[in-house]
A and B are shown apart, each in its own frame.
Chain A
Amino acid sequence: MRSISLFFRSVVQSLVIICFFGINTLMAQDATEGAALFQKNCKSCHALDRKMTGPALKGVNERREEAWLLKWIKNAPAMIASGDPTAVQLYNENNKMLMTPMPMLTEGNILSILAYIKTEGEKPLAAAATSSAAGAAAVTSSDGGINTYMIIGLIAVILIALFIILALNRVIATLEKLLIDGPDAELELLEVQTESSGLSNFNHLVKNKKFIFFTIILSVIFLSAVGLKGMWNTGVHQGYQPVQPIKFSHQLHAGLNQINCQYCHSGAFKSKNASIPSLNVCMNCHNYVQATEKYNGEISPEIQKIYTALDYDPKTSQYGANQRPVEWIRIHNLPDLAYFNHSQHVSVAGIECQKCHGPIETMAEVYQYSPLTMKWCINCHKETEVNHKDNAYYDDLIAAHEKLKKGDKITASLLGGIECGKCHY
């Protein structure tokens, strides 16, 4: 009897344990399936702990009944149309945005999404704040290539000159020793030794013509090196890296995130100016991206500068009236006497941005990569081959040459002689 009851007890115990684990794994399965479904269907508009397009979903399991949620998620617009009071209220609270109907989700699917929201919402908040890997990579400063070489060359020249003079000195010394090798030498040696105080040393130095000559030569070389470098660099802003009002990193945006240059500098492809993006372009992403995980749940101070400039309240997603532009500091500045057109280089010639702006996708802070001197422009214009194939810009030019080859006469208008800008500039 006793053994039977013991047996039953153990069976019941193990059954209970099995059931417990079974349910647990079942729930876990639900949650993992739910996570995948949430990622695919919900995440575009919903986050757990903040309002996005739709409301924050944390605690939705308590807020609403399961039957209502099932119906709502399957077809929200129909529920609003049917006049369900909660549905209509939600619709009005969320800027009258309709929730995408999800007819493809089964009841089981929806339940596992809800299980995911429940388990995820119960997790403590501190779990975030993972990788801040991006970091500021060391920016290789390119302080004027030519000039560094120039200075190294000069130093080398000075060292060689010094070496030659020392060698000559030694030769002269040996010669003198051979010529003036008499009894006086020892006497004078004694004399010098007794007199060798600091002042007399200096006097000897000043009287020494060789030394004076050498000093003058050295100072002339030094001054001309400094002067040449100064003149060479006058008006050349290469390496200029001013502190910008917002610590915007091209390394993060163009490098890591691979956002194309044109997305923000849309002018580069169609106008003279590459254009600094206005803040509405920033807000296309930063209405959502706030980098809170790196700042203990606070909005990144640099992103906050965008919001401040736009008088934007991230809590209500409303813009105020007191808006002002960000005062970026211009780095690349051609003198007003030179005309430069971005679209001509980017769209017609098809030149990569990096050709002039350097490895911009690795710059945490932008500096002027190229010297932007006339010589630099001209060298590139001398070397670059024009690609006129399938390039509408050169059609007229090629047509004119074809005509000339055939022996036809060409008119000024064929060469753009009747374009408005030729006369009305």
Chain B
Amino acid sequence: MIENMLVMNKLRILGTAFIVVASAAIISSCGDKRSTGWEYARNMYDPIAYNPDQPNKNFKNGQTAQVPPAGTIPVGFDGFFEYPNTIEGYEAAGVSLTNPLPAAPANLAQGKVLYQNMCSHCHGAEGKGDGSIIKQDKFPPPPSYSTGMSSRGGAVKDLTDGKIFHTITYGVNLMGPHRSQLEPSERWKIVMYVHELQKLQ
């Protein structure tokens, strides 16, 4: 009798084991990637103060991140830029604005890195207007630094400090303004490196 029961039990044991293993596999694999999963003490994740990217009903537009009041100067702000986004402002900047940073190798090296990260996908590694997006024909080519003509007069290779700075700040034609992405000092470092690229042949 025992022997027989064992024979029958073996089937059941196998069956149970199979079900257990299968359900373990199923349950472990059904984690939902659209949810964060189980959380314990969610309030430890949520800050007491508002995060900049959080909605906020205390402000009229419902955002936590507010535009600073006009005339606010951020900590470490390195200089005013009082030239307006007009052709006159551009010309004026070209005449009277010069790079306040010393032409040190460290600044130039940082300018190169910034140029590669912020400009080269359009203007190309050597400023010839052949960046990765241009090569794929997804964006019209900008004029070459060394051989192109500026739409605001003259050759691009003759553009001065102030004109390049004005262009990065406000953009021109299809190029958008980059002042929200680059601090003035970073723009000046890029200007320094652009001058190097203008000299290329």
Stretch at the interface among A3-11, A226-234, A380-388, A399-407: A226-234
Q: Which of chain B's residues have a CB closer than 8 A to the CB of A192?
A: 1, 4-5
Task: From B28, B133, B139, give the contact of A226 (CB < 8 A).
Answer: B28
A54 → B minimal CB distance (Å): 9
Are A333 and B45 in contact, with the CB atoms below 8 A? yes
Q: Which of chain B's residues have a CB closer than 8 A to the CB of A155?
A: 21, 24-25
Q: Which of chain A's residues have a CB closer than 8 A to the CB of B53?
A: 276, 328, 330
Q: Which of chain B's residues have a CB closer than 8 A to the CB of A325?
A: 63
Are A176 and B141 in contact, with the CB atoms below 8 A? no
Task: From B31, B117, B152, B177, give the contact of A143 (CB < 8 A).
Answer: B31
Q: Does B102 contact A (CB under 8 A)?
A: no
Are A234 and B39 in contact, with the CB atoms below 8 A? yes
A45 and B151 in contact, given A211-B12, A235-B40, A237-B37 (Cβ under 8 angstroms): yes
Residue with the greatest number of chain A CB neighbours at <10 A, chosen from B9, B47, B116: B9
Q: Does B52 contact A (CB under 8 A)?
A: yes
Are A281 and B5 in contact, with the CB atoms below 8 A? no
Task: From A52, A162, A240, A281, give the contact of B13 (CB < 8 A).
Answer: A162
Are A225 and B24 in contact, with the CB atoms below 8 A? yes
B147 → A minimal CB distance (Å): 9
Q: Which of chain B's residues have a CB closer than 8 A to the CB of A141?
A: 33
* Alpha-carbon separation in the docked complex, A327 to B65 (Å): 13
Are A173 and B3 in contact, with the CB atoms below 8 A? yes
Q: Which of chain A's residues have a CB closer than 8 A to the CB of B46?
A: 336
Q: Which of chain A's residues have a CB closer than 8 A to the CB of B24?
A: 151, 154-155, 158, 222, 225-226
* Alpha-carbon separation in the docked complex, A214 to B16 (Å): 10
**Residues 102 to 123 of chain B near chain A (Cβ within 8 Å):** 116-118, 120-121
Some 22 contacts from A to B, beta carbons below 8 A apart, are A45-B151, A45-B173, A96-B87, A100-B143, A100-B149, A100-B150, A162-B13, A162-B14, A169-B9, A176-B2, A192-B1, A222-B24, A226-B24, A234-B40, A237-B36, A241-B34, A259-B133, A260-B121, A262-B118, A263-B121, A284-B175, A327-B55
Stretch at the interface among A23-31, A65-73, A200-208, A297-305: A200-208
- Please report the total number of A residues contacting B with Cβ < 8 Å: 99
A211 and B9 in contact, given A98-B151, A234-B38 (Cβ under 8 angstroms): yes
Q: Does A257 contact B (CB under 8 A)?
A: yes
A101 and B153 in contact, given A44-B141, A147-B28, A243-B34 (Cβ under 8 angstroms): yes
- Please report the total number of B residues contacting A with Cβ < 8 Å: 75
**Residues 243 to 283 of chain A near chain B (Cβ within 8 Å):** 243, 256-263, 266, 270, 273, 276, 278, 280-281, 283
Q: Does B60 contact A (CB under 8 A)?
A: no
B47 → A minimal CB distance (Å): 4
* Alpha-carbon separation in the docked complex, A331 to B149 (Å): 45
Q: Which of chain B's residues have a CB closer than 8 A to the CB of A45?
A: 140, 151, 173-174
Stretch at the interface among A112-120, A285-293, A355-363: A285-293
* Alpha-carbon separation in the docked complex, A281 to B178 (Å): 8
Task: From B1, B9, B132, B181, give the contact of A257 (CB < 8 A).
Answer: B132
Are B181 and A173 in contact, with the CB atoms below 8 A? no
**Residues 24 to 75 of chain B near chain A (Cβ within 8 Å):** 24-25, 27-29, 31, 33-41, 44-48, 52-53, 55, 61, 63
